[in-house]
Structure 1
Amino acid sequence: MSVNETRPDHSTSGRIQDKVAVITGAASGIGHATAERFASEGARLVLADLDREKLDTLVADITGRGGQAIGVTGDVSHEADVRALMDQAVSHFGRIDILVANAGIIPEADLASATVDLWDHTMAVDGRGMFLSCKYAAAEMVKAGKGAIVCLSSISAFAGQKGQAVYGPAKFVASGLTKHLAIDLADKGVRVNAVAPGTIDTPAVGKMGKEGIEKVVAMHPLGRMGKPVEIANAILFLASDEASFITGAVLPVDGGYLAQ
């Protein structure tokens, strides 16, 4: 992994003021919105992604407004990269208070078209990557006796959908990991929760095409896609002390999708 850093004065205040937050998949979509939201609430950020160029731009934007952020490139499916990411966070900021395990891919494939390679790659990124991120971040949180982890699940972890024979099961991993880790880490002062977004207006969803998006949007009672910042707001709540008595929860932020 390589690191790009800038540390100007930081004068904003907020609900996670001076908390050290690691956000994976931070360069675009929900991760990008979460980084921006956390920065506005005073967090010190360790932003991880594979896209060096977008990551550099995000770090520059945040630090240019007086925030504290570093960018680390790496692949969450690789144990060495995840270990290095957490080491960078501790080396630079001294600890890890919050992890947002957001990195993931959204393949669209039914059972007939899905390949073993697609299954393995998706599980490596969405499943193993989340496990590794939680494992190494939690190790640092346990040392301090406190911390908050927020995983990104999906409505696909609760409701069957066409064309999600690979992605849906991967998100079952996210929800299951959240609940089991919540119990495993509760007596160590670490909370673990998840957000389950509905269809969100991100570049990844945009790849579904106009017809595909229209069909999915029609399934949401509120009649629209969600905005990345709406997911970021929910993540912020679960990561903050306002959610101090919440652990093991998977919060739908889905425009009513799962209420049907």
Structure 2
Amino acid sequence: MPVPAQMSHGGPQPGRLRDRVALVTGGASGIGDSCARRLAADGAVVVVADLDEDGATRVARQITADGGTALARRIDVTDPDSVTRVVTEAATLRDGLRIAVNSAGINGPLSPLAELPPADFDTVMRVNLYGVFHAMRCQLPAMATTGGVIVNLASIAAHATFRGHAAYTAAKQGVLALTRTAAREYADQGIRVVSVSPGVVDTPMVTSLPPGATDRLLTAVPLRRTAQPAEVAALIAFLVSDDASYVTGSDHVVDGGYLAK
């Protein structure tokens, strides 16, 4: 019998990230929303950043109402100047930027590769891959004096192919490469860089898939259910904590066993 989602992840540890500044891109919904809430519950000061500024504001207000500390900022991860402004501001808070979760992403249109318009391919790459590049390009220097942790959201699509997802898969495989490279390049500055590859998660990106698509995916998931965003956030909260101080350059799959074939 599947374990109920609300019982399948560890609860907040309020002192674990006390006063550390955390930036979460894509923080207005889905996994980013849950990450922002979880990091705040663990004591972090969270900058909730999203292209959807109203959504980011809603999340930040809810965190504050629950006793946490958060502020909302609009960010366009495809625009280097927008990313620079938000990261620079985050780095001025408290003792500087210590945690970054790069979770902004889109599905993009689903199409066989030969039928995929170049403009649509480019759009997915600009958000899902270039967006991570722009973010890390600013976050790494911001963490150079204090050390820190960057978590990039990849996907099981980086490990397994899915029909119609050529652009998404290519982008997420690129995220793995950026993660490994940065981890090696910046370890001597006290910066850890890891990625997380979620499986089928109950988020707007998954619920927006064509009818029946999620059910077909779940037939290959041994746990026979979608993950809740909070379950992915719980893993990320561990990875950015001191409990994971020897973990860097690695990808962490949270997929209910999908890849265990």
| Structure 1 length-normalised TM | 0.92
Deviation at 1:189, TM superposition (A): 0.6
Give SS of 2:49's match.
Answer: strand
CA contact (8 A) 1:109 1:166 kept: no
Deviation at 1:259, TM superposition (A): 1.0
**Alpha-carbon distance in 1 for matches of 2:252, 2:238:** 11
**Alpha-carbon distance in 1 for matches of 2:143, 2:83:** 15
Deviations 1:25-82 (Å, cap 9, x if unpaired)? 0000000011111111010011100112211111111112221111110201100000
1:76 aligns with 2:77: yes
Aligned to 1:58: 59
**Alpha-carbon distance in 1 for matches of 2:229, 2:211:** 19
**Alpha-carbon distance in 2 for matches of 1:106, 1:240:** 29
Give SS of 1:151's match.
Answer: strand
Aligned to 1:7: none
**Structure 2: unaligned runs, 5 residues or longer:** 1-12
Give SS of 1:252's match.
Answer: strand
**Alpha-carbon distance in 2 for matches of 1:28, 1:217:** 22
Deviation at 1:15, TM superposition (A): 1.4
Give SS of 1:148's match.
Answer: strand
CA contact (8 A) 1:155 1:196 kept: yes
Aligned to 1:243: 244
Match of 1:224, as an amino acid? R
Aligned residues: 248
Deviation at 1:160, TM superposition (A): 1.3
Give SS of 1:59's match.
Answer: helix
CA contact (8 A) 2:60 2:71 kept: yes
Give SS of 1:237's match.
Answer: helix
Aligned to 2:139: 137
- RMSD of the alignment, in Å? 1.2
| Structure 1 residues 81-160: aligned runs within 5 Å | 81-107=82-108, 108-144=110-146, 146-160=147-161
**Alpha-carbon distance in 1 for matches of 2:91, 2:163:** 42
CA contact (8 A) 1:110 1:166 kept: no
Match of 1:239, as an amino acid? V
| Structure 2 length-normalised TM | 0.92
Deviation at 1:209, TM superposition (A): 3.1
Q: Out of 34-43 and 112-121, give the one that drifted further.
A: 112-121
Match of 2:124, as an amino acid? T
**Alpha-carbon distance in 2 for matches of 1:228, 1:74:** 21
Deviation at 1:94, TM superposition (A): 4.4
| Structure 1 residues 186-201: aligned runs within 5 Å | 186-201=187-202
**Alpha-carbon distance in 2 for matches of 1:109, 1:236:** 35
**Alpha-carbon distance in 2 for matches of 1:185, 1:92:** 22
Give SS of 2:83's match.
Answer: helix
Aligned to 2:27: 26
Deviation at 1:121, TM superposition (A): 0.9
Deviation at 1:156, TM superposition (A): 0.5
Q: Out of 90-99 and 168-177, give the one that drifted further.
A: 90-99
**Structure 1: unaligned runs, 5 residues or longer:** 1-11
CA contact (8 A) 1:157 1:168 kept: yes
Name segments (4+ residues, structure 1) moved above 6 Å.
none
Aligned to 2:39: 38
Q: Out of 127-136 and 21-30, give the one that drifted further.
A: 127-136
Aligned to 1:5: none
CA contact (8 A) 2:14 2:43 kept: yes
Deviations 1:90-147 (Å, cap 9, x if unpaired)? 2343410000011111122321331101111111111111011111111111122x11
